[in-house]
Amino acid sequence: MDFELSKEQLDIQQAVREFVNTELTKDYLLEIERHHKFPWEVWKKACELGFVAINFPEEYGGGGYGELEKVLVIEEFCRQGAGAGTAITTANFGSKIILNRGTKAQKEKYLPLMCKGEATTFGAFTEPDRGSDLTTSPLTTNAVKQGNDYIINGAKTFITSASIAKFGIVLCQTDPKVTPPYKGHSIIIIDCPAPGFETSDWEKMGMNSFPSCQVSFNDLKVSGENLIGEENKGFYYAMEFLNEVRVDTAAGAVGIAQGALDRAVDYAKNREAFGHKIGTYQAISHKLAEMATKVETSRLVVYKAAWGIDHNKIDPKICSIAKWYAGRAAVEVADEAIEIMGGHGYMLENDVERFYRDAKSTELVEGTKEIHKNAIAGALLGKLS
Ligand SMILES: Cc1cc2nc3c(=O)[nH]c(=O)nc-3n(C[C@H](O)[C@H](O)[C@H](O)COP(=O)(O)OP(=O)(O)OC[C@H]3O[C@@H](n4cnc5c(N)ncnc54)[C@H](O)[C@@H]3O)c2cc1C
């Protein structure tokens, strides 16, 4: 067993660290947070440097690296600023399904746009009436074959960056009669904007540098050539994809927790109260020790999950452990960072209240912690009667 990153991985980590220090400055992060702006200029540069599509093949303009390198990139972006970091590193959300299951023509048409920074994308699974459970009743969003086209109707919600994307993928019901209903799911690529594709943005607690959208499909006509893989296999493709993006989200949570810890340590070394640096008080130093323990344990399990993906040894149980544990740790560490910084911690200028608000979303997206605990317990217990 080797716990060291390779020289190449350390170089990637260092390059991203330098990039975010230069580009995601404190003033810039405050500006986009206050005005809820997508960090377009930094996203474009990050694409050109190969950070966003680091885990896509070079033939499409990607970096040719794996999941662990992607994790390192996400961690560094989110350590600097989670809203902007997540906006940039999820700007290709859904495209991995095109890579995994798309035709050669689909890959050649769509992936270079995303890799080169000419298109942001979205992945639409959640519906207003079903998020955690997409399996037990047919999806509202349905696609009906008409000649060589599909006509899509229905609605999705909370979809990251759908209102600013050039294309995305959507999980639809193509066979409404089959039992169980998930055996009638298909994934279709949507080009946008398009007549019949409408979006509106939610206002939300954190992650304010990208829009979270309600999407409605009203007789949206899409070519049959946009079907990914086989009809009615979409649920399986989605599950394969979700294992990977759960690890991405967990990596973002590690970055948030590390960012909050960095700021709390700095503060504890410099702030004086009752004639001493506050780090000398055991109540503060033990908080820091517990925060560091959570950061380190999260990171270890996230790297292990990423290693499994890169070595064709995906373990969904480990992906679930990484996702729920790192998400919870990020919320707890950011919460403690606010406590350590007292009133200063509550103020927007001091970063940690933003980390706290942003951290909460990592517990919700790609499966809540309850759903991941169900999955972990299911792997331990098997099917009980
Ligand atoms: C910032 C943000 C970005 C997002 N981006 C996207 C995106 O790009 N694409 C996309 O498709 N979706 C996206 N989502 C949606 C997200 O994946 C869902 O919110 C999530 O899957 C939970 O679904 P739900 O909100 O419908 O909650 P529900 O499924 O309604 O769950 C509500 C509560 O019930 C609990 N619960 C449900 N079932 C069980 C059970 N069997 N056992 C125990 N507890 C249970 C849940 O844990 C939760 O606490 C995003 C969400 C957020 C907040």
Domain 121-232 has CATH 2.40.110.10: yes
How remote is the CA of residue 126 from the centroid of ligand 1, in Å? 7
Contact indicator for 85, 29 with CB cutoff of 8 Å: no
How remote is the CA of residue 131 from the centroid of ligand 1, in Å? 5
* Residue 74: both structure tokens together: 């996400």
Tell me if 371 CB under 6 Å of ligand 1: yes
* Residue 354: both structure tokens together: 């933003």
Instruction: Give the contacts of 37 (CB within 8 A, at least 6 positions apart).
Output: 31, 209
How remote is the CA of residue 367 from the centroid of ligand 1, in Å? 6
Nearest alpha-carbon partner for 210 in 163, 143, 248, 272: 163
Residue for token pair 């050649």: 108
Active site residue 296: no
Nearest alpha-carbon partner for 362 in 328, 327, 335, 336: 327
* Residue 17: both structure tokens together: 């660290």
Break the chain into its structural domains and give their ranges: 7-115, 121-232, 236-381
How remote is the CA of residue 361 from the centroid of ligand 1, in Å? 10
d(CA 355, CA 350): 10
Nearest alpha-carbon partner for 37 in 78, 82, 84, 69: 84
Tell me if 15 CB under 6 Å of ligand 1: no
Task: Out of 245, 366, 368, give the residue to mutate to test ligand 1, the one with the largest number of ligand atoms within 8 Å of its CB.
Answer: 368
Which residue has its alpha carbon closest to ligand 1 atom 48? 368
With 0-12 / 13-18 / 19 or more C-beta atoms within 10 angstroms meaning exposed / middle / buried, residue 5 is middle
Pick the CATH number of 7-115 from 1.20.1050.10, 1.10.540.10, 3.90.1150.10, 1.10.150.120: 1.10.540.10
Tell me if 93 CB under 6 Å of ligand 1: yes
Task: Out of 132, 157, 171, give the residue to mutate to test ligand 1, the one with the largest number of ligand atoms within 8 Å of its CB.
Answer: 132
Whole-prediction pTM:
0.97
Nearest alpha-carbon partner for 218 in 190, 237, 255: 190
How remote is the CA of residue 232 from the centroid of ligand 1, in Å? 23
Tell me if 139 CB under 6 Å of ligand 1: no
Tell me if 135 CB under 6 Å of ligand 1: no
With 0-12 / 13-18 / 19 or more C-beta atoms within 10 angstroms meaning exposed / middle / buried, residue 269 is exposed
Tell me if 267 CB under 6 Å of ligand 1: no
Q: Which of 8, 336, 366, 370 is catalytic?
A: 366
Return the sign of the alpha-carbon dihedral for residues 72, 74, 76, 78. negative
Tell me if 124 CB under 6 Å of ligand 1: yes
How remote is the CA of residue 365 from the centroid of ligand 1, in Å? 6
d(CA 330, CA 335): 8
Tell me if 208 CB under 6 Å of ligand 1: no
* Fold category of 236-381 in CATH: Butyryl-CoA Dehydrogenase, subunit A; domain 3 (1.20.140)
Tell me if 365 CB under 6 Å of ligand 1: yes
Give the pLDDT means over successive 10-residue stretches in the chain (385 positions): 95 98 98 97 98 98 98 98 98 97 98 98 97 95 98 98 98 97 98 97 98 98 98 97 96 98 98 98 98 98 98 96 98 98 97 98 97 97 91
Contact indicator for 220, 153 with CB cutoff of 8 Å: yes
How remote is the CA of residue 143 from the centroid of ligand 1, in Å? 23
Counting from 1 in the atom list of ligand 1, the atom nearest the Cα of 130 is: 26
Cross-strand bridge partners of residue 276? 273
Tell me if 131 CB under 6 Å of ligand 1: yes
d(CA 111, CA 132): 28
Nearest alpha-carbon partner for 340 in 321, 349, 327, 353: 353
The pLDDT of residue 151: 98
| CA-to-CA dists, residue 372 to 59, 112, 268, angstroms | 35, 33, 35
In whole angstroms, what separates CA 219 from the centre of its chain? 29
Q: Is 351 left (phi over 0), alpha (psi -120 to 50) or beta?
A: left
Task: Out of 159, 209, 364, 373, give the residue to mutate to test ligand 1, the one with the largest number of ligand atoms within 8 Å of its CB.
Answer: 364
Tell me if 121 CB under 6 Å of ligand 1: no
Contact indicator for 128, 157 with CB cutoff of 8 Å: yes
Counting from 1 in the atom list of ligand 1, the atom nearest the Cα of 368 is: 47
Contact indicator for 87, 38 with CB cutoff of 8 Å: yes
